[in-house]
Amino acid sequence: MKKRKLGAIEVSEVGMGCMAFSHGYGKIPPEQYSIEAIQNAAAHGCTFFDTAEVYSPNLSGIGHNERIVGKALKNVRDDVVIATKLFLGFGESMTGVYGAVRRHLEGSMQRLQTDRVDLYYLHRLGGAPVENVAEAMGKLIDEGLIRGWGLSQVDVDVIGRAHNVTPLSAVQNIYSMVERDSEKAVIPYCIEHNIGFVPFSPIASGLLSGKITTETKFEHNDDVRNWVPQLSKANIAGNQPIVDMLKRFADMKGAPPAQISLAWMLHKYPNVVPIPGSKNKERIVENLNASEVTLTDTEFAELETELNKCRVYGHRGFSR
Ligand SMILES: NC(=O)c1ccc[n+]([C@@H]2O[C@H](COP(=O)([O-])OP(=O)(O)OC[C@H]3O[C@@H](n4cnc5c(N)ncnc54)[C@H](OP(=O)(O)O)[C@@H]3O)[C@@H](O)[C@H]2O)c1
């Protein structure tokens, strides 16, 4: 697969979001299936895997997903980039931010069966001033425990404050054809400062695959699609022109709609590395193959113009 850089860290142009093997999209697959799906993606050329300490069924407990990722990748550890994330609770860092961050990191490293984390994100702001977290991350980089660090769901003011203390490798925000807040200031800042931008939920939780209709039933337990704003019945109907437009391009290019939506962001920005998520081995490979779909400048311009004409129904933004 083609490669891109997140700061100094080289990764495949499309990564893999591993969350749904533990949380967020209903029933989780048997562990062996998840392990094989991750290994299959690695064999296909994916070198960038995204997890977080909190990804566990119903977000109760810690580390379910990290354990799966660790088991799956232990034999190819030196060939892949593992990104994970920590939540810093209020009060946790009373005795020092570095100590608190390091405790989280050690737990993650143990579960991931590794002696370093390639990319360590603060999952959400909270627990401590971002400058103090940046300082702690700088120390962990100096100690060789992490290669780079990142922030998730942040605006450009926070990114600037953090980057001035310890340069960031990546920012992971929600971004897709229907969540474009980061285009205004965050992505331009990241390009200017050599920071990678990692879109999460790049397929809008499935909407942009064209497989979701107003009749689609989501699962009752631990399924974010019940509250993702673009996926309410009314908003699925409202967003249909975007899906139809993607399907038109998909027919023209002989590629599925999800791939077109990923190819759109890859064409648009040189520092973007999406991490689509799926519980399905075949769809994981389909999404990775978006790296093979090349849009011409004219095709991209047409797609962008058509998209800009469409109203988006539902907005998640940086708040969740
Ligand atoms: N930093 C953060 O706060 C944050 C928040 C959310 C997610 N993330 C990360 O971002 C990753 C991706 O986000 P996400 O999973 O929420 O959203 P996503 O990648 O936009 O969409 C996932 C959904 O789309 C479906 N899907 C994916 N590819 C498809 C395809 N080719 N055809 C048909 N359906 C397809 C999946 O269903 P199937 O499983 O049935 O294929 C699943 O329901 C996560 O795994 C996680 O690592 C980070």
- Model confidence pLDDT, tens digit, residues 273-301: 999 999 999 999 999 999 999 999 999 99
Looking at residue 170, its pLDDT comes to 98
CA distance 112 to 15: 17
CA distance 127 to 121: 14
CA distance 258 to 134: 35
- The arithmetic mean of pLDDT across residues 188-214, rounded, is 98
The binding-site residues of ligand 1, defined as CB within 6 angstroms of any ligand atom, are 17-20, 25, 50, 152-153, 172, 200-206, 209, 211, 258, 275-280, 283, 286-287
Known catalytic residue at 55: yes
What residue's CA is closest to ligand 1, atom 16? 201
What residue's CA is closest to ligand 1, atom 31? 283
Structure pTM? Answer: 0.98
Task: Say if CB 314 and CB 178 are below 8 A apart.
Answer: yes
CA atoms within 13 A on the CB side of 1: 27
* Domain 3-204+256-293 bears CATH identifier 3.20.20.100: yes
Distance 48 CA to ligand 1 centre (A): 15
Q: What is the pLDDT of residues 67-78, one digit of tens each?
A: 999 999 999 999
Domain regions of the chain by residue span: 3-204+256-293
Dihedral of alpha carbons 292, 293, 296, 297, sign: negative
Print burial letters for 300-312: b (CB count within 10 Å at least 16), e (below 16): bebbeebbeebeb
